[in-house]
Structure 1
């Protein structure tokens, strides 16, 4: 039985990481294992979450490298030890460069707290709230060469309520992230995703 080894890149609390861990452990995501978690920020809760489940963790400090390519080369060096078949960006706050992307093209997924292609980049919940949209949500997509522009796998839509604040909207979006990110991982691991041009077909 083939097991897909997963690496997760994080920069913060790691709630999406925890959702993936939980879905692997309860069998919802079969034939998969998170073997390593890497962070560009030291001392964050996401690393503690991983360690609590016996997952190897690494803090790779970007300031110790002269440029992005050198930094990503170190990440690649670590990943090569784990025979990684899928990389997840779970609240990873850096734009992935070609050094890291090219070896894992079509094997890297990102979760974004907006309905792409609307509101890409940082502070997307605030962007949506400030624009007065009536619906918002979240998107799981393949990572490509630009920011939040890769082929879309799953989206979840939620209404923006009259009494919502930026914080309550973000919290409700996060609840949906914890559902669709594991589902996208399950589909990938089970070979049910096919990229056709800029669209993703979900196979039965």
Structure 2
């Protein structure tokens, strides 16, 4: 089977999908570099699914509970291939993908992470940046590899840490930067 067009994108979410919304809205532009062909979630009640469905985008929702990771990922992989997905964009998808799944999609999965990688991999990035006394925080779009938040960085945006910031205030400003960075970086990625 021939490899699918990189410009055919699936977005994986676990919640409200604010980055998904930014990606889809950018894909609606007449000169868009990519098309969102599927929104998938590990939570059938993820609010972002209803938004995607209302926009006429195909959705896939399946909880891994009771299935186990191998069966869940096999079903997800089948849905992605049936939709002829070429690139997977993780957007608030809160599950770690197995090494086997990443290997099947090597070089075709990207993620948005709320820190300036390689700093602050994993969770609680904003609180960690503030606690470290950093002057700036930010976000990174990177290739997904078997190493958590360890793939090549494709793009970054810095956000100043202001006096009196707490993790929630900083998170709001970083999220706004993510909404600008992710669509632009994804467009560049699929065009290479």
| Category of TM-score, reference length = shorter chain | over 0.9
Contact 2:127 2:166 in 1 (8 A): no
Q: Larger relative CO (CA 8 A, sep 6+): 1 or 2?
A: 2
Instruction: Answer yes or no: is 1:96 the counterpart of 2:103.
Output: no
Gaps in structure 1 of 5+ consecutive residues = 192-204
Cα distance, 1:69 vs. partner? 1.9
Aligned residues: 188
**Aligned partners of 2:101 and 2:35: how far apart in 1?**
21
Q: TM-score with structure 2 length normalisation?
A: 0.93
Match of 1:5 in 2: 8
C-alpha offsets along residues 12-40 of structure 1, whole Å, 9 cap, x if unaligned? 1101000011111023533x211111111
RMSD: 1.4
Gaps in structure 2 of 5+ consecutive residues = none
Q: 1:131-150 counterparts in 2 under 5 A? A: 131-150=132-151
Q: 1:15-26 counterparts in 2 under 5 A? A: 15-26=18-29
Question: In 2 relative to 1, CA 3–145 (structure 1 residues): closer, same or farther, beyond 3 Å?
Answer: closer
Contact 1:69 1:99 in 2 (8 A): no
Contact 1:9 1:89 in 2 (8 A): yes
The runs of at least 4 consecutive aligned structure 1 residues that moved more than 6 Å come to none
SS in 1 for 2:82: coil
Q: TM-score with structure 1 length normalisation?
A: 0.87
Cα distance, 1:94 vs. partner? 1.0
**Aligned partners of 2:29 and 2:46: how far apart in 1?**
25
Contact 1:29 1:185 in 2 (8 A): no
